[in-house]
Amino acid sequence: MQANETEKAILNKVLIDPRQWVDNYADYLYNYALNRISDMEEARDLVQETFLAALENINRFESRSSEKTWLTGILKHKIIDIYRKRSSLKNISLSEKDQHDFFDAETGHWRPDHMPEVFGVEKTATLENKEFHGILLKCIQKLPPLWMSVFTMKHIDDEKSDMICTALKVSSSNFWVIIHRAKLNLRACLQKNWN
């Protein structure tokens, strides 16, 4: 059985060519990082760190996914580390009064007057518009670091709420208030900058 694993490891090394990573994946990984952290220099560093981590762990690549998917997974974990670091710098803590202003004390559901509203840009054609996407990214960049991390993980990376709370060390009620406030800020920014 070990002979098969050794043969598989050798085959994986033949299939993986780190010399081609920069040409094949650097632009994709850079754009992936930049859309999530909004800092060009940090995005470049993350791509380099991704390639380095992949080189260090090349023996662990099992060909269950493509190289691109594997490298993106490594980058994604590095981005979550950045989110975690950013969110710990400026953590928001809601008082009991603030929580009761937004949520019903008995059910934990939104109070009707604070319930999130429709975002206002649901048309597919608009969302595909590059100009709109650029304005949306600029609006996301204006959010406080924790809000940007939570919003990006939830609505761009499509992560589960529980995972986000654990990764960023925020309570469930804090998470939903952050999402609500981020959406309100984004709506105001989009209404101001998108005609």
Per-residue confidence (pLDDT) for residue 4, from 0 to 100? 60
Q: Please say whether the beta carbons of 80 and 159 come within 8 A.
A: no
pLDDT at 124 over 60: no
* Run of H or E including 101: helix 96-102
Give me the domains of the chain, ranges plus CATH numbers: 2-89 (1.10.1740), 96-193 (1.10.10.10)
Query: Is this model's pTM higher than 0.75 or not?
Result: no
In this prediction, residues 81-102 reach a mean pLDDT of: 62
What would the two tokens of residue 78 be? 């590095």
Give the pLDDT score at 91. Answer: 47
Please write the tens of the pLDDT for every residue from 23-58. Answer: 999 999 999 998 888 788 999 999 999 999 999 988
pLDDT > 90: percent of the chain? 25
Give yes or no for a contact between 25 and 32, defined as CB atoms under 8 angstroms apart. Answer: no
Give the pLDDT of residue 37: 83
Higher pLDDT among residues 112 and 110, named by residue = 112
The label of the residue with tokens 């319930």 reads: 115
- What span, in angstroms and rounded, lies between the C-alpha atoms of 5 and 59? 11
Q: Which residues contact 163 (CB under 8 A, 6 or more apart)?
A: 153
Angle at 99 between CA 96 and CA 105, to 5 degrees: 90
Confidence (pLDDT) at 99: 53
